[in-house]
């Protein structure tokens, strides 16, 4: 495993982050054995959220039993909409942060993200609340998940004008598999920086040196090695409905075909190629990866050692023909 320090977090993050939105943890089940195996692979950073069912409770069970809270980095999120109500308000933010403290059994969260955005809300009010918790030592770095780079820039202008700590991390969708549709549909949208249409967003992250915590980095399973590029109908049966809505498009099956070809040439797996593609970008990215079996995480982590040429990176993403 490789590690990287980011501003306002006292411990380095593992370059691969384990996503805790898996069925067993969402249901609040004992996931200690799985988390032990993931941790043994060197993954020390865990992503959860207030609205991931009882995932925070399941993670707390492991942290308490192993006594390792000071050795791991916890990412949690709040302000997700419920029942058609946008919840990007100071009151909801405070509620969700405090609830996460209780569920996680901790008095601080290393990285806190606002899960969704609401364009009707001036971001300054949220920056003020996040700074209160940061100043009190209760959260380290903070930022947005599914916030556009323009809105993050707006929030950071407010912070600069008022002498406050800015958003210093972001968690949009990013991966070789382009999120073309909204996986969940309706309500406040999901934000992606994948694909050719989002080159300016990626350049903004590079120029502003804001690290990206990339969710759905394997396209909700589409690039996890469980579907084949020449079996579109089979893929639609294997993947969950949200993955089909977000990722099952011709462009992505072409990307998958190229990943299959390159994996064969390099004697590795499709998910290893897809994760290596993320690691070989020109800005700081930490892919989030979920798995029900630690063996998949162990295999995926080998992507850290795969080097791709610039031409291969562009070819995989359909930006050039192979010569």
Question: Residue 220 — very low, low, confident or very high, per pLDDT cuts 50/70/90?
Answer: very high
- Range 288-316 average pLDDT: 93
Q: What span, in angstroms and rounded, lies between the C-alpha atoms of 131 and 166?
A: 8
Question: Residue 187 — very low, low, confident or very high, per pLDDT cuts 50/70/90?
Answer: low
Which string of DSSP letters, residue by residue, matches 104-135?
HT-S-EEEEEESS--TTS-HHHHHHHHHHHHH
Q: What span, in angstroms and rounded, lies between the C-alpha atoms of 278 and 304?
A: 10
Instruction: Decide: 10 and 44 in contact? Cβ < 8 Å.
Output: no
Tokens of 222: 């589409």
CA-CA distances (angstroms) from residue 123 to 32, 116, 241? 38, 12, 33
**pLDDT number for residue 292:** 86
Pairing state of beta strands 139-145 and 109-114? parallel
- Range 198-214 average pLDDT: 97
Instruction: Decide: 104 and 54 in contact? Cβ < 8 Å.
Output: no
- Mean pLDDT, rounded, of the chain: 95
**Element housing 47 (H / E):** strand 45-47
Q: Which residue has the higher pLDDT, 292 or 201?
A: 201
Provide the 3-class DSSP secondary structure of residue 66. Answer: helix
Res. 295: pLDDT tops 70: yes
- Range 92-115 average pLDDT: 98
Question: Residue 293 — very low, low, confident or very high, per pLDDT cuts 50/70/90?
Answer: confident
Tokens of 276: 């290596």
pTM: 0.95
**pLDDT number for residue 186:** 56
- Convert the pLDDT of each residue in 150-180 to its tens digit: 999 999 999 999 999 999 999 999 999 999 9
């Amino acid at each position: 495993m490789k590690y990287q320090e980011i501003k306002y977090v006292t411990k380095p993050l593992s370059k691969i982050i384990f996503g805790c939105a898996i069925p067993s943890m969402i249901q609040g089940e004992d996931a200690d054995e799985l988390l032990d195996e993931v941790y043994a692979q060197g993954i020390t950073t865990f992503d959860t959220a207030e609205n991931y069912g009882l995932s925070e409770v399941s993670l707390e069970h492991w942290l308490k039993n192993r006594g390792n809270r000071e050795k791991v980095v916890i990412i949690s999120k709040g302000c997700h909409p419920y029942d058609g109500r946008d919840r990007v308000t100071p009151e909801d933010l405070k509620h969700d942060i405090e609830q996460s403290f209780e569920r996680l059994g901790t008095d601080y969260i290393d990285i806190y993200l606002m899960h969704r955005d609401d364009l009707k809300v001036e971001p300054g009010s949220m920056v003020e609340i996040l700074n209160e918790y940061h100043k009190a030592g209760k959260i380290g770095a903070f930022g947005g998940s599914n916030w556009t780079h323009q809105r993050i820039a707006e929030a950071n202008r407010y912070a600069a004008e008022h002498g406050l700590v800015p958003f210093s991390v972001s968690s949009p969708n990013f991966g070789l598999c382009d999120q073309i549709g909204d996986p969940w549909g309706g309500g406040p949208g999901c934000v992606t920086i994948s694909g050719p249409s989002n080159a300016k967003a990626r350049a903004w992250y590079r120029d502003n040196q804001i690290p990206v915590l990339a969710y759905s980095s394997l396209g909700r399973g589409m690039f996890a090695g469980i579907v084949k590029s020449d079996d579109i109908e089979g893929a639609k049966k294997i993947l969950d409905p949200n993955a089909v809505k977000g990722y099952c498009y011709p462009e992505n099956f072409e990307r998958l075909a190229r990943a299959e070809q390159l994996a064969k040439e390099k004697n590795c797996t499709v998910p290893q190629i897809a994760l290596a593609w993320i690691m070989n970008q020109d800005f700081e990215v930490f892919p989030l990866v979920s798995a029900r079996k630690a063996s998949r995480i162990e295999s995926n982590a080998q992507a850290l050692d795969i080097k791709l040429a610039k031409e291969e990176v562009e070819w995989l993403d359909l930006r050039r023909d192979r010569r």
